[in-house]
A and B are shown apart, each in its own frame.
Chain A
């Protein structure tokens, strides 16, 4: 087993009587661009919430680099190198682009809480180092001209980019993108596509949910399809396109009506 794998074993999540995720097995290998797809309400985001500790699953295990991370709090999972974005963009609206990206440096900064009272020369160096890392992200994501603008004043597409930049500032080994192309126009989607490939080239594994089928087919190397919380198919995009169950789940079968 490669070292940077994410493994889901028998993951089950219930909300009251509803089983949102039902005995899901999945394995994301290092360096992959992995897609998780399924019709609306299939439980895709819930899977992400289980992985990132927002809603820990009741049954099953989630392993990351061989460690069990099932029960960990979200901030611990982020510190382990799994960082996510949200379907509904969740930035810090009043703060500037640079400050938003700086939040990604939180896990990498060596400052303690006491440096909030008094800085030491070491913590000052750390502060400077992290701001320079923010600058690198601004450069990489071409957000320089918006450095000091409050993110709430930016158009939707740019906000998406800031959110990915914030996640990348944490230098994750696994980046989880929840519908990164939602609400983007064609041009922005193409830019996103290119961006995701560039991020992968940096050695970051990517796990994403996406509705845009064209995008998924172009981007991903492996897919898991779920419906009603259950895995119905797994394979390469080409295999998935031929899969009868998947076509049925998306288009409905004749018996359904």
Chain B
């Protein structure tokens, strides 16, 4: 990582930490939603940006996490904090089960199948599956996420819990980038045949990417349930998936790109309330122009992050 990156991240987190003190509770809620959606978009990036799989059903895993937490909390009386592991593991398992049979599909074929998954999921929720999902109205009255020793009922506490989750997700993603598994994802996105020929079991790593993304999206689902103390099917429908998909494509497969995309998509409409319906119009144009002018996104992924110990004193000429 370059020095400028460090400063960028430090500034960004400083701003996020200080933010609640400048905002009233309504705007704190907006900021919280911003962070939750950033986490979902980052999870989408693992599947779409890093691995190059056209998954248009990420809202499914987001919803699965939210509903897991909601059901465990309201029906089985588990504290919300205790549902977090379940809200990560269950979507991840679903990621494996759903992706397993379809992972050999490429590009648009995979895209259509994942849209199908998402639609089926929302239908199942609306029809009160097993009497657990509460039908079209969803589930109300979810408890607040209690962290022992902290008063976590206020909006700013909810915000800081989300921020802590975001930091953890970013650490895990950084770790992924610097591991054999994370590189394998980029290798098969770049050239599946070459990746397979050099010894990468692309099938396993594709499923891994799906499960990984699903787990992170599931965590965001719990945060969502905590923020709104309610979950309902329409928050996780196919249109949401399209938004997350476009954020990664337009923003670019990088943390700044994704933050930018989420900001434009979910925060600007709040700031310009009167223009809320215009957001699709503006974002539509943004999509058109970015794809023409910057096909890799506004803030594309960068490569060449090589550990310093193999560079030392051996660089000549170029950079």
Per the bound structure, the CA–CA distance linking A93 and B195 in Å amounts to: 12
B198 touches A83 (CB 8 A): yes
Quick one: given A98-B304, A145-B318, are A92 and B200 in contact (CB under 8 Å)?
A: no
Per the bound structure, the CA–CA distance linking A18 and B150 in Å amounts to: 73
B310 touches A92 (CB 8 A): no
A150 touches B303 (CB 8 A): yes
Q: Which residues of A sit under 8 angstroms from B175, Cβ to Cβ?
A: 116-119
Q: B138 → chain A, closest Cβ, in Å?
A: 31
Q: B309 → chain A, closest Cβ, in Å?
A: 7
Quick one: given A78-B199, A118-B175, A149-B304, are A94 and B181 in contact (CB under 8 Å)?
A: no
Q: Which residues of B sit under 8 angstroms from A95, Cβ to Cβ?
A: 186-187, 190, 303-304
Q: Which residues of B sit under 8 angstroms from A103, Cβ to Cβ?
A: 183, 187, 194-195, 198, 200
Q: Which residues of A sit under 8 angstroms from B182, Cβ to Cβ?
A: 116
With beta carbons under 8 angstroms apart, the residue of B190, B193, B195, B208 that contacts A113 is: B208
Q: Which residues of A sit under 8 angstroms from B204, Cβ to Cβ?
A: 113
Which residue of chain B has its CB nearest to the CB of A105? B180
Q: Which residues of A sit under 8 angstroms from B307, Cβ to Cβ?
A: 128, 131
Quick one: given A113-B204, A116-B208, A148-B319, are A74 and B197 in contact (CB under 8 Å)?
A: yes
Most B-side CB within 10 Å, residue of A84, A98, A103, A146 = A103
With beta carbons under 8 angstroms apart, the residue of A54, A123, A167 that contacts B179 is: A123
Per the bound structure, the CA–CA distance linking A104 and B200 in Å amounts to: 9
Per the bound structure, the CA–CA distance linking A119 and B181 in Å amounts to: 11
Scan A76-103; emit 1 where CB is below 8 A from any B CB, else 0.
0011000110100011111110110011
Scan B170-189; emit 1 where CB is below 8 A from any A CB, else 0.
00100110111111101100
Indicate whether A189 reaches chain B with its CB closer than 8 angstroms: no
Which residue of chain B has its CB nearest to the CB of A114? B181
Indicate whether B15 reaches chain A with its CB closer than 8 angstroms: no
Q: Which residues of B sit under 8 angstroms from A118, Cβ to Cβ?
A: 172, 175
B311 touches A148 (CB 8 A): yes
Indicate whether B205 reaches chain A with its CB closer than 8 angstroms: yes
With beta carbons under 8 angstroms apart, the residue of A93, A107, A127 that contacts B199 is: A107
Q: Which residues of B sit under 8 angstroms from A123, Cβ to Cβ?
A: 179
Indicate whether A10 reaches chain B with its CB closer than 8 angstroms: no
Per the bound structure, the CA–CA distance linking A106 and B303 in Å amounts to: 18
With beta carbons under 8 angstroms apart, the residue of B193, B311, B317, B319 that contacts A90 is: B193
Q: How many residues of B contact A (CB 8 A)?
A: 42
Per the bound structure, the CA–CA distance linking A150 and B317 in Å amounts to: 15
Indicate whether A144 reaches chain B with its CB closer than 8 angstroms: yes
Quick one: given A99-B306, A117-B176, A145-B318, are A78 and B187 in contact (CB under 8 Å)?
A: no
Q: What's the dominant secondary structure at chain B's contact region?
A: helix
Q: B154 → chain A, closest Cβ, in Å?
A: 32
Indicate whether A140 reaches chain B with its CB closer than 8 angstroms: no
Indicate whether B67 reaches chain A with its CB closer than 8 angstroms: no
Indicate whether B201 reaches chain A with its CB closer than 8 angstroms: yes
A106 touches B310 (CB 8 A): no
Per the bound structure, the CA–CA distance linking A154 and B2 in Å amounts to: 23
Which residue of chain A has its CB nearest to the CB of B300? A94
Indicate whether A238 reaches chain B with its CB closer than 8 angstroms: no
Q: Which residues of A sit under 8 angstroms from B301, Cβ to Cβ?
A: 94
Q: How many residues of A contact B (CB 8 A)?
A: 51
Q: A113 → chain B, closest Cβ, in Å?
A: 5
Q: Which residues of B sit under 8 angstroms from A135, Cβ to Cβ?
A: 310
Per the bound structure, the CA–CA distance linking A142 and B313 in Å amounts to: 15
Indicate whether B202 reaches chain A with its CB closer than 8 angstroms: yes
With beta carbons under 8 angstroms apart, the residue of B181, B191, B199 that contacts A116 is: B181
With beta carbons under 8 angstroms apart, the residue of A75, A90, A116, A144 that contacts B200 is: A75
B176 touches A147 (CB 8 A): no
A116 touches B304 (CB 8 A): no
Indicate whether B3 reaches chain A with its CB closer than 8 angstroms: no
Indicate whether A70 reaches chain B with its CB closer than 8 angstroms: no
Which residue of chain A has its CB nearest to the CB of B177? A116
Q: Which residues of B sit under 8 angstroms from A99, Cβ to Cβ?
A: 183, 186, 303-304, 306
Per the bound structure, the CA–CA distance linking A118 and B307 in Å amounts to: 18
Q: Which residues of B sit under 8 angstroms from A146, Cβ to Cβ?
A: 318
Per the bound structure, the CA–CA distance linking A116 and B172 in Å amounts to: 8
Q: Which residues of A sit under 8 angstroms from B199, Cβ to Cβ?
A: 75, 78-79, 83, 104, 106-107, 170
Indicate whether B121 reaches chain A with its CB closer than 8 angstroms: no
Indicate whether B108 reaches chain A with its CB closer than 8 angstroms: no
Q: A53 → chain B, closest Cβ, in Å?
A: 8
List the interface of chain A (C-beta within 8 A of B). Answer: 52, 54, 73-75, 78-79, 83-84, 86, 90-96, 98-99, 102-104, 106-107, 109, 111-113, 115-119, 123, 127-128, 131-132, 134-135, 138, 144-150, 166-167, 170
List the interface of chain B (C-beta within 8 A of A). Answer: 172, 175-176, 178-184, 186-187, 190-191, 193-202, 204-205, 208, 212, 301, 303-304, 306-307, 309-311, 314-319
Q: A-B pairs with the 7 shortest C-beta distances?
A: A116-B181, A78-B199, A92-B190, A107-B199, A96-B304, A148-B304, A90-B194
Beyond A118-B172, A144-B316, 11 additional pairs, beta carbon < 8 A: A75-B197, A75-B199, A78-B196, A95-B304, A103-B183, A104-B199, A106-B183, A113-B181, A118-B175, A147-B310, A148-B304
